[in-house]
């Protein structure tokens, strides 16, 4: 059964760069799309973006220009970088897996496996 284990810095100052990594164990890394999803404390979910093993990415347009998702196929890991963070970026960040949609450059959004979540707090 696939396991997603994530890590990264939990406390940032405004204007710094958020950096998180998610490692995938016991899963078919090349057969899926890998997403980041965030959840501000006490609030709902927001999809950040996704990547596949070829490096094809799709991002939430609300974060365009600040977000980069990258992949390390040799270590079955993918990473999130979010620049110029503010308090509004304070959230629990989750990594998640979805199946691809055949014949397209996108995932299905059926997030069947999730990481444990990482709370990132942005505060001066």
Instruction: List residues near another protein by CB under 8 A.
Output: 37, 44-47, 58-62, 94, 96, 98, 101, 103-104, 106-112, 114-117
Query: 69 near 49, Cβ under 8 Å?
Result: yes
Please list, in sequence order, all residues whose beta carbon lies within 8 angstroms of the beta carbon of residue 43, skipping any fewer than 6 positions away.
none
Closest to another protein by CB, 85 or 107: 107
Task: State how far the Cα of 39 lies from the Cα of 93, in Å rounded to an integer.
Answer: 6
Closest to another protein by CB, 29 or 59: 59
What is the smallest separation between the CB atom of 74 and another protein, expressed in angstroms?
Answer: 26
| 100 φ/ψ angles, rounded to the nearest 5 degrees | -75, 160
Please list, in sequence order, all residues whose beta carbon lies within 8 angstroms of the beta carbon of residue 83, skipping any fewer than 6 positions away.
17, 18, 66, 67
What is the smallest separation between the CB atom of 13 and another protein, expressed in angstroms?
Answer: 27
What is the smallest separation between the CB atom of 84 and another protein, expressed in angstroms?
Answer: 19
What is the smallest separation between the CB atom of 42 and another protein, expressed in angstroms?
Answer: 10
């Amino acid at each position: 059964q696939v396991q997603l284990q994530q890590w990264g810095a939990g406390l940032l100052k405004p204007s710094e760069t958020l950096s998180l990594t998610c490692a995938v164990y016991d899963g078919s890394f090349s057969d899926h799309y890998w997403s980041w999803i965030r959840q501000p404390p006490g609030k709902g979910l927001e999809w950040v973006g996704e990547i596949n093993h070829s490096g094809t990415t799709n991002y939430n347009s609300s974060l365009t220009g600040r977000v980069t998702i990258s992949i390390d196929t040799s270590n079955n890991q993918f990473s999130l970088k979010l620049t110029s963070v503010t308090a509004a970026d304070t959230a629990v960040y989750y990594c998640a897996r979805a199946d691809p949609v055949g014949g397209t450059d996108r995932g299905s959004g059926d997030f069947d496996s999730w990481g444990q979540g990482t709370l990132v707090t942005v505060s001066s």
